[in-house]
Amino acid sequence: MRDLSRLWPDTSRARLVGERPFFPAPATTRTEDDPLAMTLRTGTTRVGTILAAGALLLVSGGRVGAQPLPPPDPRGTMSFVLENDSLKLLGKTTDQYYTSGVRLGWSSAEGWLPEPLAWVDDGLASLLGPANTRWRFDFGQNFFTPEDKRRRDPDPRDRPYAGILYGTVGLDRRTWDTLDRFELQLGVIGPASLARDTQVFVHRVIDDPRPNGWGRQLRNEPVFNLNAERIWRLPVAETDFGEADVLPAVGAQLGTVRVAASAGGRVRFGQGLDRDFGAPRIRHTIADAPAPVGEGFGWYLFGGIGGYVVGRDIFLDGNTWRDSRSVDRRTFVADFELGAAVFWQNIRVSYTQVWRTKEFEDQDKTFKFGSLSLAFSF
């Protein structure tokens, strides 16, 4: 393992500006012209300039000048996220489409990276500037079902049965006002994802009808994705009751699971907003934020809106290399969120309700689900 404390300024020699240590920023240059468009083919789908918005991760917040850094967080973190359409607080109970997702994660203390990831961070630092960096590992499973699960041969116009079992390795780079997240996702879809076994077991436990169409799910296929995201934290107002800020976010996804670019943001009001960059969510999402830093009590309420330009989604388009069920995917999809988060000492609990617009042409209506998360530092 490699100690990256040498990359941080010596806070003992810093002068203070407000409550933040100020360090003279080295002169840097800014490139005026950066390529923002690229074209690729995935199967027979032509994706023209779809990653343009995602490229803002590298250019809009690039090295205009080195920022003073917050104190590094010396603690590791464990986190758990559960998303399910049965968790929504508003709307009728359903069991369809993106019906369940679960993710268990661990992240290191800031400044302690294994050597290969330290090399990656050195390259990112030369492009984006210095930051407090931690690495993380996540393990999760998502699955998707059609609206009518009684049929053994599902309606070909309905969302296919599909599941994914995956792991991710990622880097989180934090400054006072920005968070950059980069990750490699590796996994498998099809029967090997164990999605069928999971749903059948849960339905047996809660005495729900058995889903009958898993025999027509997508076929086994190893998959990968590269995901990148930037979140900004912009203070807006401060009152006697709390603070308000805005969290704009952009992202890009490229791989055999999903090709997409996203942009959106959240508005928050509460106390202790500088402890995190918003509530966590399982991708795809407006933004997926890591565990908070610091101690003490805090809370916030938030609302968010975001949009996606989608060039490929394996759970709608079907297997990459083999024939399988598929539906006519929509290119533009939007999410709307409302939620709340509470901190207590080293623990954060959050809840988010999500409204998602139609993802494929024959989808009857928008879709709603809930997301519940727990994180604790140690």
**pLDDT per residue as tens digits for the range 320-368:** 999 999 999 999 999 999 999 999 989 999 999 999 999 999 998 899 9
Could you tell me the domains of the chain? 2-377 (2.40.128.140)
The per-residue pLDDT for range 115-153, each reduced to its tens digit, is 999 999 999 999 999 999 999 999 999 999 999 988 999
Report the percentage of the chain scoring pLDDT > 70.
82
Give the mean pLDDT of 292-312: 95
Flag whether pLDDT at 300 surpasses 90. Answer: yes
pLDDT for the residue numbered 65: 52
The per-residue pLDDT for range 59-81, each reduced to its tens digit, is 444 444 556 899 999 999 999 99
Flag whether pLDDT at 14 surpasses 80. Answer: no
Give the mean pLDDT of 289-309: 93
Residue 57 contacts residue 320 (beta carbons within 8 Å): no
Give the mean pLDDT of 54-58: 46
Flag whether pLDDT at 290 surpasses 80. Answer: yes
**Average pLDDT of the chain to the nearest whole number:** 86
- 48-52's contacts with Cβ under 8 Å and 24+ in sequence apart are 50/259, 50/260, 50/261, 50/309, 50/310, 50/311, 51/252, 51/254, 51/259, 51/261, 52/261
CA distance 266 to 231: 10
Q: Which of 12-21, 85-94, 105-114, 243-252 has the lowest mean pLDDT?
A: 12-21
